[in-house]
Structure 1
Amino acid sequence: MAATSHSADSGNGDHLDDLSKDALFELISELNDTENTFIVIQPDQDDPAWFASVAVLDEGCYEIVFRDTTRREHRVETDTSIGRITGDLIVWLAARDFPGRPAHQTTPSKDDGSGPD
C-alpha cells in the first residue's frame, strides 16, 4: 500500500501514514476506553468516499466500521481478535480505489441460464 494514499488517525491525536499490518496492529493495541478510543483510516483527500474505523466497545471488544459510498457498502462488525481485525482491514484497504488506480467495476452477468444471447 502506498503511504501517500491513505492514513490513520487515532483518538489521542496520533497520525500514521505507514499503514503496514504491524503498524495497524500496534495502533489497535494502543486503544483504550478512556483517552484513545478509536482510529479512523481514510484517503488523504477532501470529502473521502470511504473510511474504516475501529472503536473500543468494552474491555477486549472492538467495533469495526467499513464504509464505501462508491460501492454502497456499510458494514459494522464486532470482534475481540486484534490480529483478525488487522487482517480484515488490510484486505479491505487493498480493495479500495486510490488516485491513479482504475476503479473496480462489477458488471452484472447477462447469463440467465437460458442459452446464448
Structure 2
Amino acid sequence: MGADYYRADSEDGDRIDDPSEDALFMMISDLNGSDNTFLNVRPDGPAPHWSATVTLVGTVGGNAYEVIRRDTARNEHEVTVSSDIDGIARELTIWMAARDRPGGPV
C-alpha cells in the first residue's frame, strides 16, 4: 500500500510513507557524503506536480543542505541552503501541507 499523501525516499533506499516532521528530521540527519547524499519528497503516484529535494552539499565547518521545492501547478521553484535540520524538517512539513493532494481538491 502506498502513501496517502506523500512519500520520502533517500538515496540509500529508505522510504517512509506520509513522514512526520520527526521522520523527515531523522532522514535528513542520516544523509552523508558517501552513499546517502539526498532525500526526495513527493506525492505517491505517477507524474507528481510538486516535489522537494534535500541534498547534503557541504561538511566543512558543519553540514549544509540545499533544499529545492518545486510546484509546477503553482509555478513555484525555490532553492535555499541551510544547516538547521530542525528548521528544514519543519518548513518542509508546512510547505507539503499546503500542496494539493492526489485525489483531493485543487
User: Higher strand proportion, which one?
Assistant: 2
- Structure 2 residue runs without a partner (length 5+): none
- Write the distance in 1 (CA, Å) between the matches of 2:12 and 2:29: 13
* Residue 101 of structure 1: aligned partner: 104
CA distance in 2: counterparts of 1:49 and 1:68, whole angstroms? 6
Q: Distance in 2 between matches of 1:44 and 1:100?
A: 11
> RMSD of the alignment, in Å?
0.9
| SS state at 1:70 partner | coil
Q: 1:71 aligns with which of 47, 70, 74?
A: 74
Higher relative contact order (CA 8 A, sep 6+): 2
Q: Equivalent residue of 2:95, what SS?
A: helix
**Number of aligned positions between the proteins:** 101
2:16 partner amino acid: L
Name 1:62's counterpart in structure 2.
65
2:43–2:102 Cα contact (<8 Å) kept: no
Instruction: Compute the TM-score of the two structures, normalised by the length of structure 2.
Output: 0.92
Matched position secondary structure for 2:31: coil
Match for residue 81 of structure 1 among 80, 84, 89: 84
Unaligned runs of 5+ in 1: 104-117
> How far did residue 99 of structure 1 move?
2.4
1:29 corresponds to:
29
Q: Which residue of 1 aligns with 2:50?
A: 50
Find the structure with the greater CA-based Rg: 1
The CA deviation string for residues 69-100 of structure 1, in whole angstroms up to 9 with x for no partner, is 00000000000000110111001000000023
TM-score normalised to structure 1 length? 0.83
